[in-house]
Each structure stands twice: as C-alpha cells, then as structure tokens.
Amino acid sequence: MYENYVKWLRKYGSSEGTVEVYERNVRLAMEHKGGPLGRILDRTLAPKTRRAVMAAMRSWARYSEDEGLLKELRQVKLPPNVRKNPKLPMTAREYSAFVKALDRSGESAVLKAVLGIIATRGFRVGGVLRLTREEAAQGLRRGILPSDTSGKYRPEASIAPFKKHLQALLEYRTWTSVEDLVSPSADPDRRRKSATIAVERAMRRVAVEAGLDPEEMYPHRLRRTVAVMFLQKANNDLPKLCAFMGWRDLSTAMQYVDYAKLEDIEAIWSG
C-alpha cells in the first residue's frame, strides 16, 4: 500500500528526504491504535512533529483522491468564521476590491509598485525589496521576473500584468534595490526592516479604502491568494505551482489544494 504512495510522491518531484519523512508519518498514523486522528491528537507529540504528521496526511488524502481510492471524496467545508482567519487567502471579491483601491489610493508610486508586484506575481515582501534596478529593467523587457528564492528566471506568467509596476520603479534613476526607494533615509543596517514595515502599513491603509478589515490584511496573505488563483488557472497542477511560487517541496503546495477545490466555491471563493 505504501509503495504506491512513495511512487506517487516521487512522481511529483518530492525529495528523497521528504519521501522518507512522509512515508514514515503516514505509516505511523495509519497504524496508530486511535487511527490518524488519534495520532494527530496524541499529547506526547511535539508541535513540530504534529505539524509534520498533518502535512503527511494531507498528502495521503491527495494521493488517495488521485488514485481513486476514496469512494466518495469528502469536500472541505469552511466554518462560518472563515473570513476571520487571516491565514486564509482572500476571496475574489476581496482581491478585486483591494487591487482597485490600490490603483486609486494616494500611496507613493513606489509603495503602489511593491504591493502591485506582490498582488500579481506572488512575491514575498523581501523578494520585491531585494529586486535590483537591472532585474526590473530585464523584467520589463522580457515580461518575467527572477524568482525570489533561487534568483533564476522562470517563464510562467503572473496572474495579472505587472509591467506597469516595474515601469513605475524604473522612473527613478539611481537606486540599487527597491528597499532603497521605500526607505531611503533609514540606516542601511535597518533598511530592510524599515521598508517591510512601510509596505505592511501601506497595505493596511489600502485595505481600509477597499472596505476590508486592516487587521486581516498583510503582504503574505496576498501571496497566498496568488497561489490559489494560479492553482485554479493551472487546473491543480502542483508541480507548476511549486515552480511559479519558488517552492522546493510539494508539501508546501498541497496546503493550497483544499482552497482551490472547495465544494461551495461560488459562495466562498467568488465572494
């Protein structure tokens, strides 16, 4: 039973270390006297181990679905307070409201560009702040941006055009990285932190203009939203999502599958 699961993991590009950890955690969970849930709720487990078990079981559920081992797939049902969980991606309506508010906001051109790149390309804040002027110029010419993890160019399209944001950055003549534009007066040793705080505050201000709860809005939530939107466009192709987001492990992409395949997708994702 587990041999086919291991083959499935390898087919999707999981490293040998990940395969070994997942196979061991799934085996221990399935053979636990209380079943998988009993294993997850075992109070003797360290938090890190419990998270590893949960990640492994999510992959097992995905494998079971792909291989047709489940007679009836139990769809994910979100609780009524789903909108109050800031870890969840934004709905399409929330995303649209935020992007429109960003375009008409009074934020500086630099902050608009940073948030625009995150909202269309799914970069981490640090990835945008590290972006050099040369990379921005290449991105404008070629229509692609370097990965914020590997530094290599990847050809996958963003979920929306982002060239206008690069053009806005290139209007400024002398700068080494984007963080120099966001926090030019900050001490060099603290410039990254200062720039990150500035971006987070700008996002909250735009959220207020969009009629959204600013306490639930932060840059990484935009990244999560882009991941779900891309996964829907890619028909749940996890390797493509990993390449697009710059993830090395399939397990990271798996946590987004539930959001992209909700049974009540019209009510939740379409807003």
pLDDT digits (tens, 9 = 90+) for 147-175: 544 444 444 455 566 788 888 898 998 88
Number of other CB atoms surrounding residue 253 within 10 Å? 23
pLDDT of 196 over the 80 cut: yes
Gap between the Cα atoms of 135 and 153, Å rounded:
10
Helical H segments across 31-162, by residue range: 35-40, 47-66, 92-104, 109-121, 125-129, 133-142
pLDDT, average across residues 231-237? 75
pLDDT of 23 over the 50 cut: yes
Residue pointed to by tokens 């009836």: 72
- At 209, the pLDDT band (50, 70, 90 cuts) reads very high
Name the pTM for this structure.
0.64
Gap between the Cα atoms of 127 and 123, Å rounded:
6
Gap between the Cα atoms of 94 and 121, Å rounded:
17
pLDDT of 90 over the 50 cut: yes
The beta strand positions in the chain, using DSSP E, are none
Gap between the Cα atoms of 131 and 147, Å rounded:
10
Residue 10: enclosing H or E segment and its boundaries?
Answer: helix 2-11
pLDDT of 11 over the 90 cut: no
pLDDT of 114 over the 80 cut: yes
pLDDT score of 52: 79
pLDDT of 269 over the 70 cut: no
